[in-house]
Amino acid sequence: MARLVRSSPKRTMGFATLSVLALAISAIAAAPQGPLPAVVVKADYIHSDYRCASCLRLEKWSSAAIQQGLADSIKTGRLVWASESMDTPQGSALADQLGLTTKALVLMELRGGKMTRFKELKDTWKNLRDSSAFAAYVKSETLLFLKTAR
């Protein structure tokens, strides 16, 4: 028979406080250094709420390739990482705007917060068995996109 374990409000409040503090510290650490650039590239993994093992791997490897492989561009604010569900109203509208029907890693050029162009990285699915090839592909495509986003 399963046994329910209740945590005390004091313990739960402490955990919640620590979680909020950790989120605030990570947001400060991730904040761009210096003035924000006029043109920003957003790397966005767009997914549905249901995700298989391959979908989860795609998000994990995409995040690592962008956030670790291109940390300098993230630090300057020229590149931002995001992950959002197409099952939300905002995510659904974005997926429709991009013409997406399934999960995808998309690079978007933003000028003044408005998307001016985008590129879906379609070969991410082809590289899901090789993390090095995946990272190299995402990094090279993102660097090329950043270079042309002026």
Query: pLDDT of the chain along its 150 residues, tens only?
Result: 444 433 444 433 333 333 333 333 343 344 445 566 789 999 999 999 999 999 999 999 999 999 999 999 999 999 999 999 999 999 999 999 999 989 999 999 999 889 999 999 999 999 999 999 999 999 999 999 999 987
According to DSSP, residue 31 is labeled S
Nearest CA to 136 out of 62, 72, 71, 56 is that of 62
Nearest CA to 137 out of 85, 47, 64 is that of 64
Model pTM score = 0.75
Give the pLDDT of residue 11: 39
Nearest CA to 61 out of 137, 134, 140 is that of 134
Give the pLDDT of residue 36: 60
Q: Give all domains of the chain, ordered by start, each with its CATH number.
A: 34-148 (3.40.30.10)
Give the pLDDT of residue 38: 84
Give the pLDDT of residue 33: 54
Query: What is the C-alpha to C-alpha distance for residues 60 and 45, in angstroms, rounded to an integer?
Result: 10
Residue type, 15: F
